[in-house]
Copies of this chain bind each other. A is one copy, B any other.
C-alpha cells in the first residue's frame, strides 16, 4: 500500500529519481474513456523543471509512453501503465554527499527504515516521483469529464510565498490564467514581488516555502464517505503525501478555528436561478460531514522551504560522526510552489476520480438505473 492510493480508481507509482524510469499503473479506470495523450503530455510538461529561471535546470522531455490499457485511444477497462524514462539522470551529482545525511532530506529516515543509502538523489523521495502522479491525475481528469454530465474544474495556484500573499482570488480563475504566470501566481503585482524575493534567495543560496490554494468546482453533492474516508480526510492524505507539504486546511481552515458557530455556520438557501440548494457562505469548503455539498471544494496546502540550500550545514555521517556538508552541485528549485501547482491538482483529480466512482454505489435508486443486463437482441446491440 506504500505506493498505492484509491479504493476503486487505484493509482500505483514506481520508479527512483535516477533509476531507469518512473511510472504508474491505474487499475479501475472504466472502459470506453477516450484518452487524449497530448493533453496528458501537456500536464507532464507543466510539472517539468527547466521552464523558468526559478526552477532547476534538469532538462528532460519527460515523454510519457502508454504501455497498456488502451486500444485506439480508448480505455479497455484494464490497467493503464504509463512510463517515463529517465534520460538525464546524473547520479554523480549526489555522490559526494552520499556519506552524509542531508538535513531536511529523507536520507536518514530511508536508511533507518530500509537499511541502505540511496544512490539515487532521493530515490522515491525525489519530486521526480510526482511525474507518475501528474500522469495519473491527467487520466483521472479526462475520465471525470466523460462520465459526468456537468463539467468539473480543478484549479490551484500559489496563494502565498513566505510572507508575500496573493489578494483574494475570484471564482472565475482558470488554469490558463494561472499558467500565464511564470510562478503560477494569478496576480502580476504579487508575482513581481515574489520574483524579487526568489532572486535574492537564489543569490544567497537559500530557499522559500509557502501556500498553495486549490479549488474544485462542479463536484456534485454526495461524494465522500461518513467516517474514515471523509472527502477532506482523503484530500488531506493526498496533499500531505506530496514532497515538502506540511499542512492542510479545508475551507476556512485555521481561520475557522477563531470563529464562533454563529459566524462559521453556512446557512442553506435556494439558488433562485437553478433551484439548487446552496449555502450563502462556504466556510465548510464544500464538504460537510465528509461529503461534498455541491459548493466549491476549497483547501490550502502548506509547503516548507526546499531543503537543498547552498551553505555549510552541520550533519553527521552514517556512523554518527559530526560532519560539515556543503552542496554546490545538483539541480534544485529555490521554491517548490510553482511546480507543486500541477501536483496538487493531480492529486485532487485522483481523489475525485475515486470518489466519483464510489459515489455511484451509494444507494439503491442509482444502482437500479444501470442494472439492465447486457443482452444483445438480434440486430440491435443494447449496451
State A224–B240 Cα separation when bound (angstroms).
13
Q: Is A179 an interface residue (CB 8 A)?
A: no
What residue of chain B has the Cβ atom nearest to residue A119's Cβ? B71
Contact A378 B226 (CB under 8 A): no
CB distance from A168 to the nearest CB of B (A): 19
In this complex, how many residues of chain A approach chain B with their Cβ under 8 Å: the count is 182
What residue of chain B has the Cβ atom nearest to residue A117's Cβ? B71
Contact A314 B269 (CB under 8 A): yes
* Neighbouring B residues of A115 by C-beta, 8 Å: 31-32, 362-365, 383
Residue in B13, B232, B379 whose beta carbon sits within 8 Å of that of A319 in the complex: B379
Contact B118 A315 (CB under 8 A): no
Top 8 closest A-B pairs, CB basis? A106-B289, A220-B373, A32-B364, A112-B221, A237-B237, A109-B291, A207-B261, A31-B114
Q: Is A256 an interface residue (CB 8 A)?
A: yes
Query: Contacts A25-B25, A124-B78, A368-B149 given: A251-B258 contact, CB under 8 Å?
Result: no
Q: Is A116 an interface residue (CB 8 A)?
A: yes
Among A110, A114, A123, A221, the one with the most B-chain Cβ atoms within 10 Å of its Cβ is: A114
Contact B112 A289 (CB under 8 A): no
Contact B374 A221 (CB under 8 A): yes
What residue of chain B has the Cβ atom nearest to residue A91's Cβ? B71
Query: Contacts A265-B103, A370-B366 given: A376-B320 contact, CB under 8 Å?
Result: yes
Contact B260 A293 (CB under 8 A): no
Q: Is A14 an interface residue (CB 8 A)?
A: yes
CB distance from A282 to the nearest CB of B (A): 12
What residue of chain B has the Cβ atom nearest to residue A291's Cβ? B109
